[in-house]
Amino acid sequence: MDNRLRHLMAELESWESAVEFGIPQDLWAEYQVRLRSDDLYIASFSEIFDALRNMNEEERKADLTELAKTLLIYTRSAAARYLSGVEANTNLLYASALFYLAGYPATATLAAKGIDANHLLVDEEQFLLGLLSRRIDGATPSHAVLAVLLRGGTQTEYNRVFADLARSERAGLADNPTLYVASRLAIKCLERFQAYSTWNALSEHARPFNSATWQPFIENSATFPLWELFPSQLTAVSKGILGEANDVVSLQMPTSAGKTSLCELLIFHEVKARAQKVLFLVPFRALAAEIKEGLSKRLEEAGVSVLASYGGNIPTRSESASVETADVLIVTPEKFTALAQAMPELENRFGTVVCDEGHLIDDEGRGLQYELLLTKLKGAPGDRKIVFISAILPNVPDIHKWLGGDEDKLAKSTYRPVEIDFAFIEKKGSTWQLDFNTIFERPKRYFLARFLTDEDFAFINPATRRRNLFKGRGNYLTLASAAALKARQNGPVALFTTTKGEQGVAGLVEVLVKMVADGVGVARGAGQINDKQKLLADYVKFQLGDAHQLTRAMHLGIAFHHGSLPQEIRREIEDGVHSGLIDILVCTSTLAEGVNLPIRTLVMHTIKRFDGTSTKPISRRSIKNIVGRVGRAGKETRGRIIFANESEKPWVESVFREQNLEPAKGALFNLVNELNDVVVRNRLTLDNELFERQDISFLAILDRIDMAIIDLMPADFIIDDIENHIGSSLQHTLAYRYFDTDELRDRINEIFLIRARALIAGATPEGLIRLRKSGSTPRFQRFIDQTPILDRIEWLNLSDPFDPEWLNHVALPLLTAPTLSQSDDIEWIRALILLWMMGSTYAEIAILTGRPVDDCLEALISTVGFTLQDNLAKTTQLALLKFGEEAISETASKWNSMLQYGLGNLRQLDMFELGASDRLAVWSLSRFLDENAPGLRGREIVTFLRSIREAVVDHLRSDGRVPVLSADRTIRELRLV
C-alpha cells in the first residue's frame, strides 16, 4: 500500500477518534484529510481491487481490514456527519464485504445491519447483503439460491452460483461498474464462506456424521444460526474435536474467538452423535453460572439437558438426582469432588471432559484441586475424550502432552473476531495525547493529539464563580478517570485496576464521583440517569444504604465490581452492563478475568500491584486475558484499550507482541518449589515434627498437601501400599513433568511421603474412607473428634434454624478450627449470621450491629460465606457418616445451604433450589405462603404460585421489602408471567 495512502488513512483514523472523543472542532485544523476525503475514498477503492488479486497474503488481509475501517468511517462513525458524497447503503455493503474477506465475519454482519435493501441496485448486491447480514428474504430471488448454500449446498450447486456470478462480473466490466464491483465481491465472499461453512466442516470432520441429526441444531431460528465457523473454530474442528475416538484435544485460542459456539458444537456432537455424557469443568462459581447461561438455550432446545452445580459442598438429594439424568454437568473441581464422594462411580459416567480456563491450573487458590482432578481423569489413553481449553497459556503444547495428547490433536490459533486498538496516554507539553498501536506501522499506528487538555479538567467553583482546574490532574487515578469519562459517550467503559483500596477501585470511584459532581469539562453531561438506571441504583441503595460509595456512584451511572461485593449485587451490576445501564464500571480481575461483558473501551489505570514487599506488574498472561475481553464479536466493530500509565509501556507491549508470557506449571509445582527454596535457604532437615511446629499459614499448606494425598489415593486403596501408590501417582502430575532437577523430584517425593506416613500412622481403612467421603483434612477431622460438636443432639432433632444451642455449640465453634485466625468478635459474627438468615439487608445488618457496611460485607463473604460454610460442609458430611442420612434432621443437614443463601426456613430453600435466586423476593414469597399455603414444600410451591400468578405478582410488586429488580428477576425465574 502506498505510503501517502497509509498516511491519509492514519490521519482519518485519528480525526475520527477526535470526533468520537468529543475533542472540539477548533482543534481539528491539523487534519488535512478533511479536505481530501474524496481523494482518499477513490484511492481506497483502487487499493481494494489490488488487494483482492492477492488474497492469500496475510499482509493483504491486513490491508483489507484497514480499508474496511476507512470505508466504515465514511458512513457509520462519529465523523460520518462531516463527510459527504458517499451513498450510505452501498458503502456499508462494501465495508462489510471487506471485513468479511479480511477474516472478521462478525464485524461484517454488524456493519451490514441497517442497510436498506431497497436502495441496492442489482441482484448481486442483494445476494451479498443476505450472505453478510445472515438475513434471508424469501421474496428476493437471489436469496433463494443463497438459502440452498447456507443449508449445506453441494459442490455442483456452488459451481452453478459461481458461474452465474462470473457472468455478471464480465457483464459489469463491460458497462456497469456497480454490477462489476458487487459480482467481484460476491465471488470472493462466497469462496470464503464455502471454506468456513459449518456444514462443510461437519461433513468433513465430524464422526459419526448424520445431517438429519445436526439440521435442527444448526438452523435453530431461536438463536443465531451457526452457518459459518471462525478460523479458530475451524482449526479446532479440523484437529479432531468432533472426532469419534476418545482423544485428547487441546485448544489454544484467544478470548472471544468463538469458544461458546464451539463448545455447543462439541457438546451436541458428544451427546447426540456419540451418546456420551459431558463433564464441563470450570475453575470458579461465577464462570459456571455464566457458561450455563451461555450454553443452555440452544442445547436444551435441541434436547440436551444442561445442569450447573457450583453452590456449596454438600450435594442435595434433588441435585444428586439431577446429576444422574443430565447430559452435561457444568461444575467446579471442588463441587465435583464433593459430588463424587456422595455418588460412587460418578467419574466413570462421563465419556467426555471439557477443561475450561485451563490457565487456572496453577492458581494459588483453585489450581491444586483442578490439577489433581485432571491427573485422575486423564487416566489411560482411550478412556475418555478430554478437551483442554486456554486462551492465554504459551505452554498448552506441554499440558497437551501431559494429558496424553498427540501433536496432531493440538489446535493453535491466534485469530480474534474483533480488532483491538490499544493506546497510551502520553504527556505532550501542557496536554496529553494518545499513542495508538505502538508496535505497528501506519495506518494501524496513529496519534490523537490533545486527547486531554486543561479544558477537560476545568470547572466553575460554585462558591467563587471562578474557573478552577481539577487538582491532581497529572496523577494516574485522575488520568484514568478522565479517559473513562471521555470514552463513555461511545458505549460502556470498563476501568480496570489491580486493588480495591484508595489506590485502586475506591480511589478511582471517588475521583469519578468528584469530577462529575464538580462538572469538570470531561464530565459534562455525565451523571444523568434514566428510569431503568434508577431502578438499579435503588436496588443498590436498598441493599447497602444511602451513604455507601456504590450507592452514590450508581446514581451517577457509575458502578464498581470486586470480590468484596456480595454475589447478588455483582450479578445485578453485570446484568446492568449487559443492558447498557452502566456508563463506567470500575473493576478488578474478579470481573475482568472470566465474565464476558459487552465492553467497547477498557481503560487500564495500572497493571501493577503491591505484593506485600514491593510493587510489581501482574503477569503478562493475566493482562492478555483481561484485554482480550474487549470488543465482543457481533456487538462492536472493534475494541479499544487505553493505558493511563505510560511507564508501563514496555511490559504491555511485550503482551501484545506475545513475548515472555508466563507458562502454567501447576499449583503443585509452585507449592513444592516454594517449600524447596525454604528448605535449601535454611538448610533444614525435613520431618513431620518440623512441619507441625510452623505457623498457621504453613499448616494450611500442609493441609493442602494432605488433601492432595487423599485425592491421589485410589478408591480401593490398601494402607500398606499407600507409599508406593503416592510415589507412582506423583509421577503423573503436571508438577513432576516440570521438575527439571533431581532435587525437586526428590523433594516432592520426600514431602509427600513424610505426610503420607503421618497420615497412615495408626490409621484404619475406615478412618481414611471417612476422610475421603467428608472432604476433611486430617487436622480438621482431629479437631472435630476432640470436640463435642458431633455429639450434639441437634444433629438429630434440629427444627428451628435459629436454635441458639445449634449456633453456640455446632456452628460458631467451627471458627476456632486449626489454621484459622481467630475472629476479632465472635458475638458480632453471631449477630451477622442471625440477621443475615432473618432476611435483613446489608444496610440493616450494619446499623443493627454498629459496624460499617463494608466490614459486614467482608465478614459475610469471607468469615461466614467461605470459612464457616466450608468447615460446616465437612462437619455435616462427618455427621452424615456417623448417624446415617435418614437419622439426620433435614434442617441440620441443610442449615449450611440456608446460611449460604441467607434464608430462614426449608421452604425458602426449596424455592432457591427450584430456581428463585433473589433472597429478598424469596423472603417475600415465604411471607405470602405463610398466609395462603403454609404446608407446601418442594415443587408444589411453584405449582401453587403459578396457579395464582396474578396475585403472586401483585404481592411481589407491592411488597416494600422487595426492590423492583428483585421482583422482576423472580417473576422471570419462576415463570409467573
Q: What is the pLDDT of residues 283-324, one digit of tens each?
A: 877 677 777 777 777 888 888 999 888 765 556 666 677 888
The whole-number pLDDT of residue 662 equals 93
The whole-number pLDDT of residue 247 equals 92
Amino acid at 431: T
342's CB contacts (< 8 A; 6+ apart) are 315, 320, 773
Instruction: Assign 217 to helix, strand or coil.
Output: helix
931's CB contacts (< 8 A; 6+ apart) are none
Instruction: Assign 179 to helix, strand or coil.
Output: helix
* % of residues, the chain, pLDDT over 70: 96
Q: What is the pLDDT of residues 825-881, one digit of tens each?
A: 899 999 999 999 999 999 999 999 999 999 999 999 999 998 999 899 999 989 999
Q: What is the pLDDT of residues 912-968, one digit of tens each?
A: 988 899 999 999 999 999 999 998 999 999 999 999 999 999 999 999 999 999 999
Find the radius of gyration of the CA atoms of the chain.
30
Of 454, 407, 448, nearest to 424 (Cα)? 448
- From CA 920, how far away is CA 544, in angstroms rounded? 13
557 neighbors 584 (Cβ within 8 angstroms): yes
The sign of the torsion formed by the CA atoms of 919, 920, 925, 928 equals: positive
- From CA 664, how far away is CA 673, in angstroms rounded? 13
The whole-number pLDDT of residue 409 equals 95
DSSP state of 228: B
* % of residues, the chain, pLDDT over 90: 58
The whole-number pLDDT of residue 775 equals 83
Residue length, the chain? 977
What order of strands is seen across the sheet that includes strand 446-452? Answer: 446-452, 431-436, 419-428, 638-643, 601-604, 493-496, 584-587, 558-561
Q: Angle 37-52/58-75 helices, nearest 10 degrees?
A: 150
Q: What is the pLDDT of residues 162-182, one digit of tens each?
A: 999 999 999 999 989 899 999
pLDDT of residue 732 exceeding 70, the answer is: yes
The whole-number pLDDT of residue 772 equals 81
- The burial class, CB within 10 Å (0-12 / 13-18 / 19+), for 619 is middle
How many angstroms separate the Cα of 565 from the Cα of each of 432, 683, 847, 891? 34, 44, 18, 28
Grid coordinates given for 353: 471432559
Bridge partner residues of 493 (DSSP): 584, 601
pLDDT of residue 221 exceeding 60, the answer is: no
Instruction: Assign 412 to helix, strand or coil.
Output: strand
Of 45, 61, 58, 53, nearest to 9 (Cα)? 45
Average pLDDT over residues 756-772: 82
> How is 297-345 classified by DSSP, letter by letter?
HHHHHTT--EEEE-S-SS--HHHHHHHHH-SEEEE-HHHHHHHHHHSTT
**49 vs 559, more confident:** 559
243 neighbors 208 (Cβ within 8 angstroms): no
Q: Which residue has cell 489506590?
A: 503
- From CA 471, how far away is CA 121, in angstroms rounded? 58
pLDDT of residue 57 exceeding 80, the answer is: no
**Mean of pLDDT over the chain:** 89
Query: If pLDDT is split at 50, 70 and 90, which confidence band does 492 have?
Result: confident
792's CB contacts (< 8 A; 6+ apart) are 805, 806, 809, 810
Q: Angle 696-712/722-730 helices, nearest 10 degrees?
A: 100
Query: If pLDDT is split at 50, 70 and 90, which confidence band does 54 have?
Result: low
DSSP alpha helix (H) spans, 819-886: 826-837, 842-849, 853-858, 869-883
- From CA 67, how far away is CA 49, in angstroms rounded? 11
The whole-number pLDDT of residue 1 equals 74
957 neighbors 925 (Cβ within 8 angstroms): no
- From CA 38, how far away is CA 665, in angstroms rounded? 56
Q: What is the pLDDT of residues 345-386, one digit of tens each?
A: 888 899 999 999 888 898 887 888 888 889 888 876 678 999
Instruction: Return phi, psi of residue 55, to 5°.
Output: -70, -15
Instruction: Assign 197 to helix, strand or coil.
Output: strand
Instruction: Return phi, psi of residue 639, to 5°.
Output: -110, 160
How many angstroms separate the Cα of 415 from the Cα of each of 558, 587, 714? 33, 27, 41
Amino acid at 704: R
DSSP state of 889: -
Longest dimension (CA), the chain: 96
Amino acid at 301: E
- From CA 198, how far away is CA 196, in angstroms rounded? 6
- From CA 879, how far away is CA 857, in angstroms rounded? 30
pTM of the model as a whole: 0.91
What residue ranges in 327-403 does DSSP mark as E strands?
A: 328-331, 352-355, 385-390
DSSP state of 952: H
